[in-house]
Amino acid sequence: MPTFVYMTRCDGCGHCVDICPSDIMHIDPTYRRAYNIEPSMCWECYSCVKACPQNAIDVRGVLEGLAARMVAESGVSAALAASLNACLREGDEIFNAGALKHGDDVRYAAMNGRFHALIVDAAQNAAVSAALSLNDKIPFVAPSTIAFDESARDRQFAMLTYAHRQHHAIVNALVNGEGARVDALMKEHTHISKESLNLSLPTLHLIAGAA
């Protein structure tokens, strides 16, 4: 799926224009914001996603937002609601302690991976699933990875706590059939992984499965 630019975050720096191998990322001369002039020509290399200092370019958030909207508008089954609520309870157990204990980061990662997979699978849309499968091959992009910095552990805990509060809001919107709201929530939710990556220091290591 071609990249998508959040105009409210883009500051027109031009990094995406410089790095795009297809030369299809341009700056609008009037609004001074980046945009993809030829989405059908996008290689989906996501160089622009990784280069953007404002985290203004996304793919995963758009896809997962679409999947969540589909689920909300078609109705959440009792089985799906039960599985999502089980994820919420497990996350609550982790964060109610007030700090991450040894192994909690990996535990959260596994829970979050299940949470995202449940929603995408429930959408039952082959095109969205296939696009996300390709997207997940890009380093740091998949919901199954997080950049975790031991030297910024307190800030990391705060970020993941916020991400889990978003999990609660996402489930609430799904159950209530609020398609537009859950779409927006999923897009914002993926921003957490980018913030986490921005904490990167030499002590950074990868945790499988986190937001």
Tell me the CATH number at 27.
Answer: 3.30.70.20
pLDDT on residue 154? 78
Element of type H or E holding 126: helix 126-135
Please check whether residues 84 and 107 belong to one and the same domain: yes
Please check whether residues 74 and 16 belong to one and the same domain: no
Number of domains in the chain: 2
8-state DSSP, 103: T
Please check whether residues 26 and 88 belong to one and the same domain: no
| Whether the Cβ atoms of residue 57 and residue 2 lie closer than 8 Å to each other | no
Confidence band of 152 (pLDDT split at 50, 70, 90): low
- pLDDT-wise least confident of 39-48, 78-87, 114-123: 39-48
List pLDDT tens digits, range 174-200.
999 999 999 999 988 877 665 655 554
Segment 9-20 mean pLDDT? 93
pLDDT on residue 208? 44
Please check whether residues 26 and 129 belong to one and the same domain: no
pLDDT on residue 118? 96
Confidence band of 210 (pLDDT split at 50, 70, 90): very low
Q: Rounded CA gap, 189 and 198, in Å?
A: 15
Please check whether residues 90 and 42 belong to one and the same domain: no
Please check whether residues 69 and 13 belong to one and the same domain: no
Whether pLDDT at 140 is above 70: no
Choose the final residue of a domain: 16, 37, 58. 58
Please check whether residues 89 and 12 belong to one and the same domain: no
Please check whether residues 139 and 152 belong to one and the same domain: yes
* CATH code for position 144: 1.20.120.530
Q: Domain range holding 196?
A: 60-208
pLDDT on residue 196? 58
The pTM of this model reads 0.70
Choose the final residue of a domain: 58, 75, 101. 58
Please check whether residues 117 and 180 belong to one and the same domain: yes
pLDDT on residue 34? 93
Please check whether residues 23 and 125 belong to one and the same domain: no
Q: Rounded CA gap, 117 and 211, in Å?
A: 12
| Residue 136 φ/ψ, nearest 5 degrees | -70, -10
Q: Report the C-alpha dihedral over residues 4, 136, 128, 116, rounded to 10 degrees.
A: -100
Please check whether residues 181 and 101 belong to one and the same domain: yes
Residue 146 bridge partners (DSSP): 207
Please check whether residues 36 and 85 belong to one and the same domain: no
